[in-house]
A and B are shown apart, each in its own frame.
Chain A
Amino acid sequence: MQQPPHSSRRQFLGLAGGAAVLGAIPVVTVRPAEATPAMLASAIQNVTGGAVVRAGKVKLDIPPLVENGNTVPMTVTVAHPMAPEDHVRSIHVFNEKNPQANIANFHLGPHNGRAQVSTRIRLADSQKIVAIAKLSDGSFWSVSVDVVVTLAACTEDVI
């Protein structure tokens, strides 16, 4: 059976596993839409409006090898003051291979004291995560990290 390009191993084994299970258990399979680097680029464009994005200031803390792609802890930090006249306005996080390029946008202000947000995200496959920070002076800064997502040993269908 030829594996289509860009399909995740999770998807392939999910289908294979689903076929092997006997009985009336409802099978819910994951068949993500095909995401492309162009979708990532256009999602970033929506935020930056085509302005220059410089590398730096932003740090993404994600385990390089995740325990489970369903719940991946992520912390994004911007090394920049949070003063009334000079602060981080927003942080935008994107991915490369999920069905959709956006992960989250965080809106901040000087009262936050520190531009650092943590959450838990879903990653469909090994891919690049990009975080872009917008500062109060209108400039954009970014970072990108590569994350490896392996398939959990015992994926199961919904009960």
Chain B
Amino acid sequence: MRFSGAIAAVLLIANTGFAAEIPQAERRSGHDFMKPDTKAMQDEDTANPGMLWVLDGEALWKRKQGAANKACADCHDDARTSMKGVANNYPAFDKTTGRPIDLEQRINSCRSNHQQATPLPFESRELLALTAFIARQSQGARIETGSDPQLAPFIAKGRELYLQRQGQLNLSCANCHDDNWDKRLAGSAITQGHPTGYPLYRLEWQSLGSLQRRLRACITGIRAQAYDYGAPELVELELYLMSRARGMPLEAPAVRP
């Protein structure tokens, strides 16, 4: 059982508690840690499987939905202009709920409130396609999430979740992604954990998936009970991770192993 041996080794060398943000100059995207073949898969649009979802999203953007029979395009026009600079500022502060809201939830709240349509299930093809399409419009833009002062208490909460040890393996996100990045775990590189490319095509999934899916898989991987999709803890974690990645360019949809 080499896997648990590797985890035990990480536990021994890991720091407890204090984890400073990675300095701006040292921040590296998950793209950096990949082998050349996988990087090539992401870098070319016609080779990037994530782009299939972006294409679907482009079609969905124009499709009339719900009792109001409105398409996203009816209010938001050409996404290339209206959605530019959106995804790199998410999760954002939602005035109605007084809480942070991620892109998937924002799409669904738009559907309920403005299209009078039923919300799309998490990880459904349609929701992923729309999220990928919107995120794509901010390709290359610097992540600026969290600049709104109203988000401060939620970022702090997200940071707490990031630092807390949990599960049967008693590991925190920080143990791997702050203290041991660039080392390897069971053959894979440990990255710094910046969500610069979401939603992304994960080779393991052979599908596009959201940041929440990845977080749930990671939390299950350390043998803790994963939060449900849409849980406030997951949104707070997303918020903290995006603010921790400030200054890095968005590269959605990315490809990851």
Contacts and interface: CB of A to CB of B under 8 A. Distances in A.
Do A and B interact? yes
Interface of A: 13, 20-22, 63, 65, 67-68, 70-71, 73, 150-156, 159
B188 A152 contact: yes
Contact of B186 (A21, A63, A151): A151
Contact of B203 (A20, A67, A150, A159): A67
Contacts of A13: 3
B225 A22 contact: yes
A67 B37 contact: yes
- B interface, by DSSP: helix, strand, loop or mixed? mixed
Given A153-B188, A153-B221, A156-B220, A70 B204 contact: yes
B223 interface: yes
Residue of A13, A73, A156 ringed by the most chain B CB atoms within 10 A: A156
B76 to A, nearest CB: 29
B204 A63 contact: no
Contact of A156 (B35, B38, B217, B257): B217
A71 B221 contact: no
Contacts of B186: 150-153
Name the interface size band of chain B.
Answer: 20 to 34
Contacts of B110: none
Nearest to B218: A154
Contacts of A71: 41, 203, 206
A65 B257 CA distance: 13
Contact of A67 (B3, B35, B225): B35
A152 B217 contact: no
A21 B187 contact: no
B257 A159 contact: no
A151 B1 CA distance: 12
Which 8 A-B pairs have CB atoms at the shortest separation, nearest pair first?
A150-B187, A68-B203, A154-B221, A67-B257, A156-B217, A71-B203, A153-B188, A68-B257
B206 A63 contact: no
A96 to B, nearest CB: 20
B34 interface: yes
B3 A68 contact: no
A20 B3 contact: no
Given A70-B203, A70-B204, A156-B204, A63 B217 contact: no
B213 A63 contact: no
B204 to A, nearest CB: 5
A84 to B, nearest CB: 31
A73 B38 CA distance: 8
Given A68-B204, A153-B3, A153-B186, 17 more contacts: A63-B37, A67-B34, A67-B35, A67-B38, A67-B203, A67-B257, A73-B38, A73-B40, A150-B187, A152-B187, A152-B204, A152-B257, A153-B185, A153-B221, A154-B217, A156-B220, A159-B213
A137 to B, nearest CB: 34
A40 B98 CA distance: 62
A152 to B, nearest CB: 5
A73 B40 CA distance: 10
B179 interface: no
A63 B39 CA distance: 13
B123 interface: yes
A134 B255 CA distance: 35
Contacts of B37: 63, 67, 73
Given A73-B41, A150-B187, A153-B186, A159 B204 contact: no
Nearest to B186: A153
Contacts of A151: 3, 186-187
A15 to B, nearest CB: 13
Interface in B54-107: none
Nearest to A69: B203
Contacts of A68: 203-204, 257
Nearest to A62: B37
Nearest to A74: B37
